[in-house]
Chain A
Amino acid sequence: MSSTPTATPPTPTSPVTLAVGDEMPVSEFGPLTRSHIVRYAGASGDFNPIHHDEEFARSAGMPGVFGMGLLHGGLLGQRLAAWVGLAAIRAYRIRFTGQVWPGDVLCFSGTVTGVREQDGEQLADLALEVTRQTGDPAIRATAVAKVAQCA
């Protein structure tokens, strides 16, 4: 089954202007399905059975299978790149604060927490988050991106 093609805004190809408090456009993904998990396993080679074998997942203390962290970490990275431009990303750090489960609708958000100059570049510090439909955070992330010099 294929997903409906969606129109996505072009990824910036040069540094964008950002100021403290600016927000990444909020977006959603889901509901997450077992097919997404299987597709990630195939694309990544991550065949840890905790992600695709219900019985194994339960034996590992989980209520069932759950998404790989780098699945929604990758989804967040894609949204980050669409916001600031892929070439502008200098660092990307994600901390997994909880699992995501089949049926979850994931929400992606971010904000600029600081703008500074370093080594001749104007850099923005970003705080990013992936939350489940329950409001529980699944990822808390930070990133550093090169931004345009303010006029």
Chain B
Amino acid sequence: MSTAPTDVTGLGMAFGTLEEGLAWAGRTSEPKQAWFPIDRSMVLYYCSLVEDANPRYWEGDECPPGLLMTLGFNPQWTPEHLHRDDSLFALNVPLPGHHIINASTTTELERRPRVGDHVSIIEEIVSVSPEKTTRIGTGVFITSLTTYSDQHGEVIARNTNVLFRYEITDTSAETEEEA
């Protein structure tokens, strides 16, 4: 790979060899608490976007499960003394690819998330696939299992997510994923 190992996405991606990445299968992150408790403005911006009129969100204290996965993102900038180097664990897997897209996601809910939940997140790297070539590039599929718990330790949901970490192989490549 001739390109310099720099994170062009700004998402906190780590770089390494395929062998180093494969060795991450089975690793589990330290628990991390989401930067923000779930609040009403998050819920309402999201519901406005997906045009969800459910009164449990607009007039109650529930949160759409679709927002859970977003809680692992750190702010793009923080004051230096508040900086945390704990972006999404799946992005820390050291691999050659500079680009990443989501391939699939599975959510199993234990209970509905609510405004005020300050979610703790633990991620396990379930598997790192052998290198594969798809229509958009060559890379690996990273499967991770994320467990979301509230500030009292109660599990809210488990999410299995598959990311495709890749390098483009042909600039005229078609765009459909082959996940």
Q: What's the A-B contact tally at a CB cutoff of 8 Å?
A: 138
CB contact under 8 A between A75 and B105, given known A45-B75, A56-B8: no
* Residue in B closest to A142 when the chains form the complex, CB atoms: B106
CB contacts (< 8 Å) of B23 on chain A: these are none
Q: Which of A107-137 contact B (CB under 8 A)?
A: 136
Select one of B45, B48, B53, B112 contacting A8, CB under 8 A. B53
Using C-beta atoms within 8 Å of the partner chain, give the interface range for chain B: 35 or more
CA distance A68 to B70 in the complex (A): 12
Using C-beta atoms within 8 Å of the partner chain, give the interface range for chain A: 35 or more
- Chain A nearest CB from B171 CB (Å) reads 6
- Give A contacts to B, CB under 8 Å: 3, 6, 8, 11, 29, 36, 39-40, 42-50, 56, 59-63, 66, 68-71, 73-75, 77-78, 81-82, 86-87, 89-99, 136
Q: List 7 A-B contacts (CB under 8 A).
A: A61-B136, A61-B173, A77-B65, A86-B62, A87-B112, A93-B104, A94-B104
- Chain A nearest CB from B100 CB (Å) reads 7
B27 at interface, CB cutoff 8 A: no
